[in-house]
Structure 1
Amino acid sequence: MAGGEFVTLEVADGIGTIRLARPPMNALNRQLQEEIRGCALEAGAREDVRAVIVYGGEKVFAAGADIKEMSSLSYNDMATRAHELSGSFSALAGIPKPTIAAITGYALGGGYELALCCDFRIAGDNAKVGQPEILLGIIPGAGGTQRLSRLVGPAKAKDIVYTGRFVGAEEALA
């Protein structure tokens, strides 16, 4: 098992599982982002890993940015952080093996953007996805608007991003 305090890479039978574990909501602080990046790079490089699952737990995949951490940042610090977050997500998107986001509970904001980096998303019955950043006056900043638009089309993506509403598993499947 590899990883850090909040993110681990577990490998069994050729499947690498990147597990997020920062209770209560897997908020994406700087440390968690860096640990995601490290585990993604390792999973991509390991010959014994043939596919990767990203999993946040039964109740939440990832609830997005750590707002407490963000509140103390200046504009320049926020821009730097957005670039770092994008780098972490690019590492996941760049894994040269099939990747699957196993979504249970909430995948919101940066958490949803993390799921969108994967090749496939499997949602449990209790899954709720969305990009509610707009409700805080923030535009999604880790490539989610582009990935979402390519996945569901521009009109549906605009609906989700502009309203900040949550989408349940059944609607996401449609």
Structure 2
Amino acid sequence: MGFVEFVKDTEGIASVKINRPKVNALNESLVDELTESFQSISDDSNIRSVILTGEGSFFSFGLDVPEFLGYSKESFTKFLFKFTDLIKYVFLFPKPVVAALNGHTIAAGCMLAMACDYRVMVSNKAKISLNEITFGSTVFASCVEILKFVVGGKNAERVLYSGTMYTAKEAKELGLIDEVVSKEELKKTAIEVAKEFAKKDTHAFRSIKSLLREQVAEEIGKREKDSIFEFVDIWYSESTRRNLKDIKIHS
């Protein structure tokens, strides 16, 4: 079963929608599909910008914790390399990526949103958070460096140390998102932003984006591998494992 809906219009805008009921939790198949979708977009010269969104009341819950609790350490580690490769791929993607955050954007889902160029979020009860610390988990070097790039070092500390679930308004004040709109205006606004990006010279955009982000990517490269191994060690620790087993997302 496919979990990603991929549509491109006649104006050079591609839409990538995560649709994995009920909460768009990220598992291995979904990460593979997202990677394939972005690779396809990269190869299509007719596509000039991308909108990444979700179906329902969640952009993404984050990792499918119950599913990954059944993974061996080796298999989970391999997946995390695959997932962090996707985050870095989106972060350095040569075309503009607009995140249309249709609902709750949590943990690994928030990491994916942070990798985009622009974030529009609905103004209802949706929350956004990097809340890993609240259930005894850590994050990756890519998460830390991209978050610092987006909100600055001090705000990154605030977000990661507290694990706070922020409203869209609070997130905008922190710099986590760029714009807050009603649910009814989300699609329209995301398309408008994507069209503005699409007007830009593609070579110039690619060059500027690379100049802005390549140093961040280099810093990630120095620490990502070790951070993944540390993430796995903490994930499989007794106390964190207990907390993770309490997370239910499919009931």
Q: Distance in 2 between matches of 1:99 and 1:79?
A: 27
More off after superposition, 68-77 vs 23-32: 68-77
Residue 37 (structure 1) shift: 0.4
**Does residue 1:150 correspond to 2:153, yes or no?**
no
Residue number in structure 1 paired with 2:7: 10
TM-score, normalised via structure 1 length: 0.92
Q: Distance in 2 between matches of 1:142 and 1:114?
A: 14
TM-score, normalised via structure 2 length: 0.65
RMSD between aligned residues: 1.5
Secondary structure, aligned partner of 2:14 = strand
- Listed as ranges, the matches of 1:16-165 within 5 Å are 16-126=14-124, 127-141=126-140, 143-165=142-164
Whether contact under 8 Å (2:24, 2:55) holds in the other structure is no
Whether contact under 8 Å (2:42, 2:94) holds in the other structure is yes
Task: Tell me which amino acid in the other structure corresponds to 1:84.
Answer: K
Secondary structure, aligned partner of 2:39 = helix
Q: Distance in 2 between matches of 1:86 and 1:58?
A: 25
Residue number in structure 2 paired with 1:166: 165
Q: Distance in 1 between matches of 2:41 and 2:97?
A: 10
Task: Tell me which amino acid in the other structure corresponds to 1:141.
Answer: F
| Matched residues, number | 171
Structure 1: tracts of 5 or more residues without a match = none
CA distances 1:61-119 after superposition (whole Å, capped 9, x unpaired): 01100001111223333322211101122232232111100012111011000101111
Query: Quick one: higher RCO (CA 8 Å, sep 6+), 1 or 2?
Result: 2
Structure 2: tracts of 5 or more residues without a match = 174-251
Answer with 1 or 2: which has the greater Rg: 2
Residue 142 (structure 1) shift: 7.0
Whichever structure has more helix as a proportion of its residues is: 2
Secondary structure, aligned partner of 2:52 = strand
Residue 8 (structure 1) shift: 2.4
Q: Distance in 2 between matches of 1:89 and 1:42?
A: 16
Secondary structure, aligned partner of 1:35 = helix
Whichever structure has more strand as a proportion of its residues is: 1
Q: Distance in 1 between matches of 2:52 and 2:45?
A: 18
Q: Distance in 2 between matches of 1:173 and 1:162?
A: 18
Q: Percent identity?
A: 29
Residue 57 (structure 1) shift: 2.3
